[in-house]
Chain A
Amino acid sequence: ETGVTQTPRHLVMGMTNKKSLKCEQHLGHNAMYWYKQSAKKPLELMFVYNFKEQTENNSVPSRFSPECPNSSHLFLHLHTLQPEDSALYLCASSQGAGLRPNQPQHFGDGTRLSIL
């Protein structure tokens, strides 16, 4: 399944670097999400976009900056990250978030991020 594509798959960066994660969905969905997945913890919702508008920001530090230029693309800009930010970052999409109930989410393969 290639409905949701994330690049890069792996990223190693120093704490002073600036990098961006990219997500693209080809499912015609209107909502896109960023999640952080750490070992043995629930999926942590970071950001939600509906029709390009940010509707959720779950107290995410400002060193993570999302961008959604259109309903098909989502970016996560990273700068001055900390070692505890090392995790798998998953992108997902759905028909609509907060607008219609019972909408399953479709995930990308994630970006494995390691902060040195």
Chain B
Amino acid sequence: GENVEQHPSTLSVQEGDSAVIKCTYSDSASNYFPWYKQELGKRPQLIIDIRSNVGEKKDQRIAVTLNKTAKHFSLHITETQPEDSAVYFCAVESSNYQLIWGAGTKLIIKP
């Protein structure tokens, strides 16, 4: 079945700098790749997703890139702000349309 690995597990960046989180997956047939943000004590929320027919998608300071050949996709956050501090989860849609989740990355924004 699908296997998703997410790195790093913790990422600390200076406010204003960029943050990059990467996920790799195993099933080359996967076509949908969402990213969720979970703030402390709150629910996971979808922040951006990408489908396999595009290589990059951007929404203001957030972007996701997809490399289907290498089977990895990354979340990029530019000009980081304190409110970006959270745990970020990647997910991959499996062949039966279920989401397989990464273990999460705790992003810490240092003032």
Which A residues lie at the B interface, using CB under 8 A? 1, 4, 40-43, 45, 48, 56, 90, 96-110
Q: Are A40 and B9 in contact (CB under 8 A)?
A: yes
User: Bound complex: CA of A110 vs CA of B93, how far in Å?
Assistant: 22
What residues of chain B lie closer than 8 Å to A110, measured between beta carbons?
Answer: 43
Measured between alpha carbons, how far is A108 from B103 in the docked complex, in Å? 19
B4 interface hit (Cβ, 8 Å)? yes
Task: Find out whether the CB atom of A97 lies under 8 angstroms from the CB atom of B97.
Answer: yes
Question: Which of B11-19, B44-52, B73-81 lies at the interface with chain A?
Answer: B44-52
The answer to whether A98 and B93 have CB atoms under 8 Å apart is no
Instruction: Count A/B pairs, Cβ under 8 Å.
Output: 52
Cβ-defined partner of B103 (8 Å) among A1, A42, A56 = A42
Contact with A along B65-105 (1 / 0, CB 8 A): 00000000000000000000000010001001111011110
Q: In the complex the two chains form, is A43's CB within 8 Å of B101's CB? A: yes
Which residue of A42, A100, A103 contacts B4 across the interface (Cβ within 8 Å)? Answer: A42
Q: Is the CB of B97 within 8 A of A101?
A: yes
- B42 to chain A: closest CB distance in Å? 7
Report B1-43 CB contacts with A as 1/0, cut-off 8 Å. Answer: 0001000010000000000000000000001101000000011
Contact call B98/A56, Cβ cutoff below 8 A: yes
Residues of B within 8 A of A103 (CB): 97
Q: How far is the CA of A25 from the CA of B101 in the complex (A)?
A: 22
Chain B residues with Cβ under 8 A from A98's Cβ?
96-98
Task: Tell me whether B99 and A105 are in contact (CB under 8 A).
Answer: yes
Contacts of A105 in B (CB 8 A): 46, 99
**Are B97 and A90 closer than 8 Å at their CB atoms?**
no
Q: How far is the CB of B66 from chain A (nearest CB, A)?
A: 13
Which partner residue on chain A sits nearest B51 by CB separation? A102
Least CB distance from A95 to B in Å reads 11
B44 close to A42 (CB less than 8 A): no
Given A42-B4, A102-B51, A107-B43, also A97-B98 (CB < 8 A): yes
Partner of B44, one of A40, A48, A107: A107
